Amino acid sequence: MGNPMAGDHFQYEDAPVSQTLKDNISLLKQLYFLHADDLNIQSLDFNCALAYLKELIDPAIINENVLPAIARQAEGVRDTQKPLMLEGIRYADSMRDISLSILNGDIAFFVEGQSRCQLIPSSKVSKRSLNEPSGEPTLRGSKVGFVEDISTNIALIRQRLKTPRLKLRKIEIGTLTRTSVAFLYIESVADASLVETGWMRLQSLNAIALQAEQQLFEAIQKHDHKYSLFPLLDVTERPDRIVGNLLKGHIAILVDGTPFAIIGPVQLLTLIQSPEDYHFSPYLGSFIRLLRLLAIFISLLLPSLYIALTSFHQEMLPTKLALSIQQGRVSVPFPSIMEAVFMEGAFEILREAGLRLPKMLSSTTSIVGGLIIGEAVVKAGIISPQMVIVVAITALSSFIIPSYNLSVALRLFRFMFIILTGFFGAFGLMWGIMMLSMHLVGLRSLGEPYLDPIAPIRKNGFYDTIIRAPFSWLLSLAKKNS
């Protein structure tokens, strides 16, 4: 298959439902399901037939509900023209719609002499049970994560937001996959222009296949910035996180077949939030958020700061610290930039290895990488112990950041900063910071400033971003805003 996001080359031909049963069956077999051996046509005695894909439906529904209902209809009123007494039955008069419904797991019921077809819902979807999301574990709060089935995910949100103001617009994306996508927002909480922006971007998506939420993510994000490394939307598998964002006036997008939902708009500071911040006291919640903010700076700048201070501006260091660092570096043959690139590179390899290996082996990798190699390179005099400390603190800091996408972006920028500082010292570092700040300040997520509430400064915005203010404050602020 080519590019799944390319335009629609697979338009289905359409035809009306004929009054002749034979013609309908033949059209279905020849035009829509040619060489589809799993299509089952079940002809019945009463001049009618059922058509369905046998792997997609629940056979019990046919045997226990559909066939008895047809029999009752035929025997009782002697009229198969009337609708079957079954729940959720629909009519269709286009063969194209009928074929699509069959693909969705419906049973098509054709009757001789009738120019409409009855569609009986009977899809059989294998679902996994609800588990704690592995990528976003929390100490406190809900332990339920999304699953691959969109209906279950919608139900998880509806259970937590019992208001008719929670609006849900559905759309099918992908001419081949026809993936169900749900667009959610709370009416009068979410800004109307934001909702329309999000919905229009979703509708404008023209794809052959939609298999992962990342396709939607990139397609929506490109309207704000095509090439930014920073995530301009967020992804989560936690229903409580989706609900929290909907309550803040954001929009959410669920995609069938993936447990990950998209949230927008996001700001840099909202990416350091975690649902459990609201399960702790405001003091602890605020402290943790400030800690994460500090972690962002450490993760991004610590190795380059170390390089700048040890290679270019030793006079800036306090005397005792400068002496201590110098002692550690006596036997090291490389400049700090080489040390940093080597250690950071080795750490990235270890991290990837840890992710791909089975869980039991990943801990072994950590021990081998972290302890054994770390100690060996220091003993061999290749790397200074200070650099090992710097890389370790940087790595730990990057793990604190809740958003994986943000964490990855920071990792890439860290390397850029290391190279800039390695060549130009503090000037390179400052230049890099200013370029990055200029980039960040120009970014928008669904049209909203990415650095809000810092740039532009919005006083009320700080209560639930850098700090986690008490609920009473947040409530009065929400009332004031509404």
- Straight-line distance from the first to the last Cα atom of the chain, in angstroms, rounded to the nearest whole number: 49
Indicate the helix (H) or strand (E) that contains 152.
helix 150-160
Cα distance between residue 301 and residue 312, in whole Å: 16
Query: Which residues fall within 8 angstroms of residue 414, CB to CB, at 6 or more apart?
Result: 299, 300, 301, 303, 304, 344, 394
Is residue 104 within 8 A of residue 123, CB to CB? The reply is yes
Over the window 150 to 189, marking each residue x when it contacts another protein by CB under 8 A and - when it does not, the resulting string is ----------------------------------------
Cβ at position 7, least distance to another protein in Å: 29
Is residue 48 within 8 A of residue 117, CB to CB? The reply is no
Residue 229 binds another protein, judged by CB under 8 A = no
Residue 290 binds another protein, judged by CB under 8 A = no
The piece of 173-181, 343-351, 450-458, 465-473 that touches another protein (CB under 8 A) is 450-458
C-beta of 32 vs 450, nearer to another protein: 450
C-beta of 141 vs 425, nearer to another protein: 425
Is residue 421 within 8 A of residue 337, CB to CB? The reply is yes
Residue 316 binds another protein, judged by CB under 8 A = yes
Is residue 176 within 8 A of residue 161, CB to CB? The reply is no
Over the window 328 to 367, marking each residue x when it contacts another protein by CB under 8 A and - when it does not, the resulting string is ----------------------------------------
C-beta of 263 vs 305, nearer to another protein: 305
C-beta of 9 vs 320, nearer to another protein: 320
Contacting residue, 320, 356, 359, 480, with another protein by CB under 8 A:
320
Indicate the helix (H) or strand (E) that contains 231.
none
* DSSP letter for each residue of 449-476: ETTTTTTTT-GGGGGGTTS---HHHHHH
The piece of 125-133, 340-348, 381-389, 446-454 that touches another protein (CB under 8 A) is 446-454
Residue 200 binds another protein, judged by CB under 8 A = no
Q: How many helices (H) and strands (E) does the chain have?
A: 16, 12
Contacting residue, 318, 333, 359, 480, with another protein by CB under 8 A:
318
Largest Cα separation within the chain, whole Å, is: 101
Within 65-141, residue ranges assigned H as helices are: 67-76, 95-103
- Assigned token pair, 299: 């993760």
Residue 110 binds another protein, judged by CB under 8 A = no
Residues that bind another protein (CB under 8 A): 193, 312-313, 315-321, 424-428, 430-431, 433-435, 437-439, 441-442, 444, 447, 449, 451, 454-457
